[in-house]
Amino acid sequence: MFIAQALQNASDSTSTIVHRNSELFMKIDPYGIGMTVMGYSVVFIALLLLYVIFYNLSKAMTLNIRRILRKEGKTEEANKIEEISGEINAAIAYAIYLYFNELHDKENPIITINRVSKAYTPWSSKIYGLRQYPR
């Protein structure tokens, strides 16, 4: 039924459609329970999937990277992958500083992480070249 309607909708103006659906909902979902149940679960599904994928991806990555590094003999770097307390403390320190100076600037999070993001990458190392180029 909905689909049929959707197809038929194609001929109407947006607002007409919106309003027709709205009236429908007023009848069959007057308290929005249905909308809540479905909407909230979809939001969860979406982020849950994202979680699952990156949870496994990062696992794979870490192993993979460490293997590469080990091969290159960069053992200390390899271990660095695990813990970055050094950077993180610096980052936090800076974050706090920013925090107390109340710089309302969305870029803060970037700054706090910057050094971390310079971690080893399997991609072409040329990339780093670019980051320094002067605007």
Partner 1 sequence: MENFFDFLTHGIEQFVAYTAFPNMTVGHIIMITVGLIFIYLAISKEYEPLLLVPIGFGILIGNIPFLESAKLQIGIYEPGSVLNYLHFGVMKGIYPPLIFLGIGAMTDFSALLSNPKLMLLGAAAQVGIFGAYILALIIGFIPEHAAAIAIIGGADGPTAIFLASKLAPELICAIAISAYSYMALVPVIQPPIMKLLTNDKERRIRMKPPRSVSKTEKIMFPIVGLILTTFITPSALPLLGMLFFGNLLKESGVTKRLADTAKGALIDIVTILIGLTVGASTQATTFLTPESIGIFALGAASFVIATAGGVIFVKVMNLFLPEGKKINPLIGNAGVSAVPDSARVSQTIGLQYDQTNHLLMHAMGPNVAGVIGSAVAAGIMLSFFMG
Please answer whether residues 46 and 37 qualify as being in contact, where contact means their C-beta atoms are separated by less than 8 angstroms: no
Give the nearest distance from C-beta 119 to its own copies in angstroms.
21
Q: Is residue 39 helix, strand or coil?
A: helix
Cβ nearer to partner 1, comparing 47 with 70: 47
Instruction: Please provide the DSSP assignment of 56-91 as one string.
Output: HHHHHHHHHHHHHHHHTT-HHHHHHHH--HHHHHHH
101 binds, among its own copies, partner 1, none (CB under 5 to 8 A by kind): its own copies
Q: Which residue has the tokens 């909407």?
A: 39
Residues in 46-65 at the binding interface with partner 1, rule: CB under 8 A: 46-51, 53-55, 57-58, 61-62, 65
76 part of the interface to partner 1, by CB under 8 A: no
Site residues, its own copies (CB under 8 A):
101-103, 105, 126, 129-130, 133
